[in-house]
Amino acid sequence: MPLLEIRGLQTWFETRAGTVKAVNGVDLSIERGETVALVGESGSGKSVTAYSVLRLIEAAGGRIAGGEVLFDGTDMLRLDLASLRAVRGNRIAMIFQEPLSALNPVQSIGTQIVEALRLHRDIGLRAARERAVELLELVRMPSPRERLEEYPHRLSGGMRQRAMIAIALACEPDLLIADEPTTALDVTTQAQILDLLRELQGRLGMAMLLITHDLGVVAETADRVAVLYAGRVVEQGPVETLFDAPAHPYTRGLLDAVRIEELPPGSRLPEIPGMVPSLLALPPGCAFAPRCPRATPACDAGPPAMRAGGEGRLHACFNPWLSTVEGRVPA
Amino acid sequence: MAGAAVKRRGLRSFLLRRLWQVVPVLFGIAALNFLILQVAPGDVVDVLAGEAGAATPEYMAQLRAAFGLDQPVPVQFAHYIWNLVTLDLGFSFRQNMPVLELIMSRLPATLLLMLAALAIAVTLGSLIGVVAATRVRSWVDTLLSGFVLLTYAVPTFWLGLMAIVLFSAVLGWLPSGGMYTVGAGLTGFALVGDVLAHLLLPALTLSTFYLAVYARLVRSSMLELYGADFIRTARAKGAGEWRITLVHAFRNALLPMVTMLAYQSASMLSGAVLVETVFSWPGLGRLAFEAIRTRDLNLLLGILFFSSVVVVLVNLLVDLVYVLIDPRVDPTARRA
């Protein structure tokens, strides 16, 4: 049984203009100890999927309209609030994009770690503070004991994200959801934080759902990758084989867009023509069909189902690229 | 731990620096006061002569010399400033008492009224704001917001009069005015109880307007904070709604509230004029009202100056509170 299994998840936002189907039938599973990357452009539904797992989406004005989120066999969507709170921060923890705004500005780092501990463990204040120092050591915060008294605004971006990770790891979760954890950081700090996450994951044996739009980060960090487009997973599989031979035309377009070093100088940069469809009015067939170079009339008839492509690969496409030989460099 | 020591030291120098900044402010207020005195037609001698019914020009000149009013304006200004420095606010010829003594006799009553009203406004306002925010767009929110709008819109003096009619005249539960029962000779707890009974109506009346301001401020700050990233973090940590509301959101909503407190300390003094008059509360506000009515210029200017001092000090106190409750305010920084 996978640690986390998302089946047919639908998360919608009701707006004045109509129902925005931000996540529209996502299927995804994560095994214990595994890192799965969720990639896609802005608005593809990556973060909404992540927030839906912990049901944080209701406070953000969204509604989970359907599907199942099975965590260790229990459907998170059916839990009562008390049982849900017992999972949040305890068995599934989360870190965020902007560590400064994600930390409470008027509480010290120590207080915020201690809170995470004491919400789920029967532990005294003194013991919790000692444990907080250990956690800060674990995330390699310089002079951890002094940092307990420090407030978020006095720390650097990297140190804030380290503090955030220490909070998330307080109860040794089985699954860490990292929502673009390095986007707000500079490049050197990004590398350090990713190294730290990889190392901690190995040491603590936890699974990680990494949300990112940075394909380089995916290649370095993840075991498997799922590509999201307009609220659906269009392709997933092991990072290496998927990056080597993407089956879905959208994945191929994404990968081509980052391989600009391989282009002859002066040539036109590759792009995916057209725009992401409005989530208010998705096309009846494949959402990518209007922009797809391989689209046929069949693509507009109905959404393609997820099909197995061998070696643990899955793709939702009527006309996938199946051979690794076929057209590596775009015309 | 080292941070705390640094902060304490920073706090002391911050206080000293702010106290120095108070000096030019007070000088400015004094200069403005003096200007008003100069621009106003006539002087104390004219008033005295008018009241006596008749006075010879020689006698008036003699009086002016005695009061120093025949001297050039800069000299008079220097005298005035020196008097202020030595806390000599002049003499009220109406009340036949030194102004300072009059003010000091009325100050405790006003402070008591203001603090009580402020306490009611802050407590009740926060409570209403928090409850309305947690049940936003429900009937509870609508009801509370309606009530708040009403207390905001109703004139204070009218509300005071109606309160007297209802609670004193019709129901007879509370006294209609004054600060204690005259001639009762109460002591100890009985006296405290008596003063509290007299305080309740005026404090509630004075608090209504401010209560509305706080309730609206807290409601909107809480709603804004509910969307904040760190509230989402608290949820992701597994914190319950009460914890999120009080420990995370309300704690941060305190910051704009304290700012508002500084603004309101001034307006509350002027609000006290009406309430003290309606409830015949023996405070500074009513003294100011009487001073205006009887053209007791010395007393009026004394009260104005003194109120300015109080407002400046309250603002200083609020700045200090700000340093204590918001770690982002750095007292060691040269510019706040």
pLDDT of B58 over the 90 cut: no
Name beta bridge partners: A313.
A310
What integer pLDDT is reported at residue A331 of this predicted model? 34
The verdict on B83 and B7 lying in the same domain is: yes
Q: Is residue B89 one of the residues assigned to a domain?
A: yes
What is the C-alpha separation between B30 and B53, in angstroms, rounded? 32
Element (H, E) at B322: helix B297-325
What integer pLDDT is reported at residue B1 of this predicted model? 44
Judged by average pLDDT, the poorest of A251-260, A308-317, B120-129, B294-303 is B294-303
**CATH number assigned to the domain comprising residue A229:** 3.40.50.300
What integer pLDDT is reported at residue A323 of this predicted model? 58
Looking at per-residue pLDDT, the higher value among B62 and A118 belongs to A118
Nearest Cα residue in chain A from B251: A106
The verdict on B310 and B179 lying in the same domain is: yes
Nearest Cα residue in chain A from B229: A102
Q: Is residue A250 one of the residues assigned to a domain?
A: yes
Using CB atoms, pick whichever of B1, B232, B328 lies closest to residue A56. Answer: B232
The verdict on B79 and B122 lying in the same domain is: no
Three-class SS of residue B87?
coil
pLDDT tens for each residue of B146-196? 999 888 888 888 888 888 888 888 887 888 777 777 776 777 788 888 888
pLDDT of B121 over the 50 cut: yes
Name beta bridge partners: A210.
A37, A178
Q: Is residue B177 one of the residues assigned to a domain?
A: yes
Chain B residues with CB-CB distance to A56 below 8 A:
232, 235-236
Chain A residues with CB-CB distance to B2 below 8 A:
146
What is the C-alpha separation between A224 and A218, in angstroms, rounded? 9
What is the C-alpha separation between B267 and B285, in angstroms, rounded? 12
Q: Is residue A3 one of the residues assigned to a domain?
A: yes
Chain A residue set in contact with B, beta carbons under 8 Å: 54, 56, 59-60, 85-90, 93-94, 96, 98, 101-108, 115-116, 119-120, 146, 149-151, 153, 164, 167
Q: Count how many Cα atoms sit within 13 Å of the Cα of residue B247 in the half-sphere of its side chain.
A: 17
What is the least distance, in Å, from the CA of A184 to any CA of chain B?
A: 14
The verdict on B69 and B111 lying in the same domain is: no
Q: Is residue A170 one of the residues assigned to a domain?
A: no
Q: Are A7 and A27 in contact (CB under 8 A)?
A: yes
What integer pLDDT is reported at residue A330 of this predicted model? 42
Q: B236 and A103 in contact by Cβ < 8 A?
A: no
What integer pLDDT is reported at residue A329 of this predicted model? 41
Q: Which of residues 224-263 of B touch A (CB under 8 A)?
A: 226-240, 247-248, 251-252, 255
What is the C-alpha separation between A214 and A202, in angstroms, rounded? 22
B4 pLDDT band, cuts 50/70/90, is low
The verdict on B141 and B166 lying in the same domain is: yes
Q: Is residue B330 one of the residues assigned to a domain?
A: no
User: Which range has the top average pLDDT, B5-9, B83-87, B123-127, B313-317?
Assistant: B123-127
The verdict on B236 and B91 lying in the same domain is: no
- Answer with the one of B97, B127, B160 that is the final residue of a domain: B97
Chain A residues with CB-CB distance to B230 below 8 A:
101-105
Q: Identify each DSSP E strand in chain B by its residue range.
A: 91-92, 97-98
Using CB atoms, pick whichever of A59, A60, A106 lies closest to residue B327. Answer: A106
Q: Is residue B161 one of the residues assigned to a domain?
A: yes
What is the C-alpha separation between A250 and A257, in angstroms, rounded? 11
What integer pLDDT is reported at residue A105 of this predicted model? 93
pLDDT of B295 over the 80 cut: no
What integer pLDDT is reported at residue B61 of this predicted model? 82
The verdict on B231 and B247 lying in the same domain is: yes
Q: Is residue A147 one of the residues assigned to a domain?
A: no
**CATH number assigned to the domain comprising residue B180:** 1.10.3720.10
Q: B229 and A116 in contact by Cβ < 8 A?
A: no
- Phi, psi angle pair for B19, to nearest 5°: -65, -40
The verdict on B79 and B210 lying in the same domain is: no
The verdict on B213 and B259 lying in the same domain is: yes
Q: Is residue B332 one of the residues assigned to a domain?
A: no
Q: B235 and A88 in contact by Cβ < 8 A?
A: yes
The verdict on B91 and B161 lying in the same domain is: no
What integer pLDDT is reported at residue B336 of this predicted model? 41
Looking at per-residue pLDDT, the higher value among B36 and A187 belongs to A187
Q: Which amino acid is at A222?
A: A
How many structural domains comprise chain B?
2
The verdict on B119 and B147 lying in the same domain is: yes
Sheet with strand A4-15: strands edge to edge: A18-30, A4-15, A62-71, A74-75
- Answer with the one of B68, B97, B126 that is the final residue of a domain: B97
- Phi, psi angle pair for B331, to nearest 5°: -65, -20
The verdict on B128 and B210 lying in the same domain is: yes
At B199, list the tokens: 């305080």
What is the C-alpha separation between A52 and A50, in angstroms, rounded? 5
What integer pLDDT is reported at residue A303 of this predicted model? 87
pLDDT of B5 over the 70 cut: no
Q: For residue A269, what are the domain limits? A: 1-82+208-323
This complex has an ipTM of 0.89
Three-class SS of chain A: CCCEEEEEEEEEEEECCEEEEEEEEEEEEECCCCEEEEECCCCCCHHHHHHHHCCCCCCCCEEEEEEEEEECCEEHHHCCHHHHHHHECCCEEEECCCHHHHCCCCCCHHHHHHHHHHHHCCCCHHHHHHHHHHHHHHCCCCCHHHHCCCCHHHCCHHHHHHHHHHHHHCCCCCEEEEECCCCCCCHHHHHHHHHHHHHHHHHHCCEEEEEECCHHHHHHHCCEEEEEECCEEEEEEEHHHHHHCCCCHHHHHHHHHHCHHHCCCCCCCCCCCCCCCCCCCCCCCCCCHHHCCCCCHHHHCCCCCCEEEECCEEECCCCCCCCCCCCCCCC
Q: Is residue B199 one of the residues assigned to a domain?
A: yes
B326 touches chain A (CB under 8 A): yes
Chain B residues with CB-CB distance to A183 below 8 A:
none
A-B C-beta contacts closer than 8 Å: 86
Q: Which amino acid is at B114?
A: M
What integer pLDDT is reported at residue B186 of this predicted model? 74
DSSP letter, residue B98: E
How many structural domains comprise chain A?
1
- Answer with the one of B48, B75, B97 that is the final residue of a domain: B97
Using CB atoms, pick whichever of A96, A108, A146 lies closest to residue B233. Answer: A96
- Note the residue count of chain B: 336
One digit per residue, pLDDT tens: chain A, 331 residues? 899 999 999 999 998 988 999 999 899 999 999 999 999 888 889 999 999 999 999 888 889 999 999 999 999 999 999 999 999 999 999 999 999 999 999 999 999 999 999 999 999 999 999 999 999 999 999 999 999 999 999 999 999 999 999 999 999 999 999 999 988 888 889 989 999 999 999 899 999 999 998 888 898 899 999 999 999 999 999 999 999 889 999 999 888 888 777 788 888 888 888 888 888 888 888 999 888 888 888 888 888 988 888 788 999 999 888 755 444 444 3
What integer pLDDT is reported at residue A158 of this predicted model? 92
- Bridge-based pairing of strands B97-98 and B91-92 is antiparallel
Q: For residue B303, what are the domain limits? A: 103-325
